[in-house]
Structure 1
Amino acid sequence: MFIEKSLSSYKENIFHAMKDDWFLITVTSPSEVNMMTAAWGSIGVMWNKPIFNIVVRNTRYTYQLLEKADSFTCSFFSSDYSEQLTYCGRHSGRDVNKAKETGLTPIEIDGNTSSKVFTFEQAHTAFCCNIASITPIQPEHFVDSSIEKHYLSKDYHTMFTGYITRLLINEEKEV
C-alpha cells in the first residue's frame, strides 16, 4: 500500500537510487501504460516548486508519449528488480507489453496530477509529476566537450521538468 509522505521526509540517497538501482519513467496515453528505464535525472527546486527532471532521447517511444502527456511518474525499485528494469531499458513499448513480459504490475494511483498516473506494485517509491517544461538538449550549449561522447549517434535527449505533486512510499517494500 502506498502512502503519501512529505518531500522533506525523503531520506533515500537519490544519487544511489538513480545511478545504481535505476528507475522507471511511466507515462500513459488513453490506450496504454508505457515505461522506460532511466538512470539520469535530477530533483530540486525550480520556479519555487519541487521538481523532477527526466531526460529521454528523442528516438524513444516514451519521448513520443511524453510530448503528448501532461504528467509522468518516476518509480524506484530495490536492486532485486534489476533484471526487469534491464528488460524495460532494452525493449520498446512500441513492440512489446513490458509489464506483461517482466511481471511488473501497474497500479493506478492518485498522483494529484492532471491526468491518470501509474506506478508498480513492486516499487518502493513513486514521484508523481505534472509536466512544467520541455527543453531539448542542444550540443551547441555544451561547455564541456566530453559530453558529446554520450551522443555518438547524435540522438540527443530532451529534458522534461515535472512539478512533483506527490511522493508515495510503499509501506510493504524496503527502501
Structure 2
Amino acid sequence: MKKEGSKKMEFTTDIFSKFDKQWALLTAGDKDKFNTMTISWGGLGTLWNKPVATAYVRTSRYTHEFMDNNEYFTISFYPEEYKSALGVLGSKSGRDIDKMHSSGLTAKEVDGSMTFEEAEVTLVCRKLFCQRLDPENMSSDIAKQFYEDQAEHDMYIGEVVEIIK
C-alpha cells in the first residue's frame, strides 16, 4: 500500500472547530465495499513520533465493522454547502439504505481506502491503535451523559500517511 517515508505534509486549520463545527466524514473499506459516517469527535496531533488523527466510533455503528476490518481509513472535510449531505450520512445507517446514493457525493478510491471528490481535504490514515473507551474510567457526568443508554465508543488512532487537497 503506502510507502513509509518522510514526505512533508502540511495542514493548517483551526484545530478546535474542525471536527465539532465543520464535521467530517470517516470512511473505511475499499471500492468494492465501504461505509462512511459523519463524525464530530476527533483530533489531530503527534504520537509515537508520527502525525496522527484520532476518531471515535460507537460499537453499534455499521462503520465500526469496517474500521476493525481494514488497515486504512480516511477522514475528510467539506465546504459548508455539503452540510446537508453530511447530515444524511450521519443520520442513516449503511445497513439499512444506500447512503452514498442519498448523499449525492462522488466516491473516490485513495491509497487503500475511500474518500469523496467533493472533499476539501482528505487525511489518509493507517490504523495504529484501537481501544474501547470504558465508562468506568470516565468522569461520572460524562459517563452518564454519553453512555448511560448508548453503546460505547472505540478510539481509533491512525498515522496520517497522506493529505489530499
Deviation at 1:6, TM superposition (A): 4.0
Deviation digits for residues 59-88 of structure 1 (CA, Å, limit 9, x no counterpart) = 000001111111100010011111110110
Aligned to 2:134: 138
Q: Report matched runs for 1:56-135 at 5 Å.
A: 56-110=57-111, 116-135=112-131
Amino acid at match of 2:140: S
Amino acid at match of 1:60: R
Tell me if the contact between 1:29 and 1:65 (Cα under 8 Å) persists in the aligned partners. Answer: no
Does structure 1 conserve the Cα–Cα contact (< 8 Å) formed by 2:34 and 2:66? no
How far does residue 95 in structure 1 lie from its aligned partner after superposition?
1.4
Is the counterpart of residue 162 in structure 1 residue 158 in structure 2? Answer: yes
Distance in 2, matches of 1:50 and 1:68, equals: 22
Q: Secondary structure at the match of 1:19?
A: coil
What runs of 5+ residues in structure 2 fail to find an aligned partner?
1-6
> Which of 122, 142, 158 is the equivalent residue of 1:147?
142
Q: CA deviation at 1:33?
A: 2.3
After TM superposition, the score normalised by the length of structure 2 is 0.90
In 2: Cα distance, 1:167 partner to 1:104 partner: 19
Superposition map of 1:45-56 within 5 A: 45-56=46-57
Per-residue deviation, 1:34: 1.0
Q: CA deviation at 1:156?
A: 0.8
Distance in 2, matches of 1:30 and 1:69, equals: 12
Q: Residue 29 of structure 1: CA displacement?
A: 4.7
Task: State the number of aligned residues.
Answer: 158
Cα separation, partners in 2 of 1:109 and 1:30, compared to 1, 3 Å:
closer
Stretches of structure 1 that go unaligned for 5 or more consecutive residues are 111-115, 170-175
Tell me the TM-score normalised to structure 1 length.
Answer: 0.85
Q: Is 2:31–2:113's contact at 8 Å kept on the other side of the alignment?
A: no
Amino acid at match of 2:126: N
Distance change (3 Å), C-alpha of 1:76 and 1:6: farther
Kindly report the root-mean-square deviation, in angstroms, between the aligned alpha carbons of the 2 structures.
1.5
1:45 maps to a residue whose letter is: T
Amino acid at match of 1:49: K
Q: Does 1:15 align with 2:16?
A: yes
> Post-superposition, which runs of at least 4 consecutive aligned residues in structure 1 deviate over 4 A?
none
Deviations 1:27-78 (A, max 9, x none): 1157312100000011111111111110000000000111111110001001
